[in-house]
Structure 1
Amino acid sequence: MSIDPANSKSDLAAFILRITSGAAFLAHGWLKVSVFTIPGTVGFFESLGLPGFFAYLTILAELGGGLALILGVAVRAVSIPLIEVPRVYRRVFYSKPMRRYQGRSCLHRMRPPFPVAADGRLRHVAARCCTN
């Protein structure tokens, strides 16, 4: 049996992506439980006009889905619902109620491609995003 180098590289890339995504979801879920506390997270969701049970669903999805990704259990079945969590974050973050938490920052309005100098630094970011 021969080993296909292209296939082994794609398997390694999928493994790394699965582990890092799972760790990110697990960290976000644990943050909601340990730092913000569950009642605090529910209160924050309700302050945004979302039903309180969405906080429980989000915590369950992040903790359970992140753990399942790390362990490699039902990866495809878990990945599809986990796609919705960041999509909801994006919709809530750009919604009107959330703007009061954004303060005077205008970086949330930046759109790629960012103007990057040769040394990797961002330049003219504030001028471009704040004038729109």
Structure 2
Amino acid sequence: MVPGRGKRERRIAYLESVAGYWVCIVFRGGWIDGISMARVKGAHEVLEGWLEGLKYFVELAGVALGAAVAGELGPAGVEGLARWLRASGKALQDLGAANRRAASAITEGIRRYIDGEGRAERRAP
């Protein structure tokens, strides 16, 4: 059990960058607790401010980064984010294989929708 949380599973936020948006998928065990998106870009300090505004932030045990968001932040940005997370009592960590597959499917669906591939075509009556 995670102290102060009353649940066995820890909440982990997975962050990825998809088609100009930051996407945050919050996992609790094998379940998805929430998905947030924001059209925000910038240094790790901007990402930190966005994360703090999410309703699950207090309950997060850690944060996992997708390859695209890690690439956008760069090594110095990832290290800055890791320092901030440690100071907030959280950890930069990996996501389990099953949750990573789920996150990949979700982010691919978001990308297709944003790119217009997922929109249904209207047909004339």
- Between Structure 1 and Structure 2, the one with more helix by share is 1
User: TM-score higher than 0.5 here?
Assistant: no
Rg (Cα) greater in structure = 1
The higher relative CO (CA closer than 8 Å, separation ≥ 6) is in: 2
TM-score (norm 2): 0.24
Q: Which one has a larger percent strand, Structure 1 or Structure 2?
A: 2
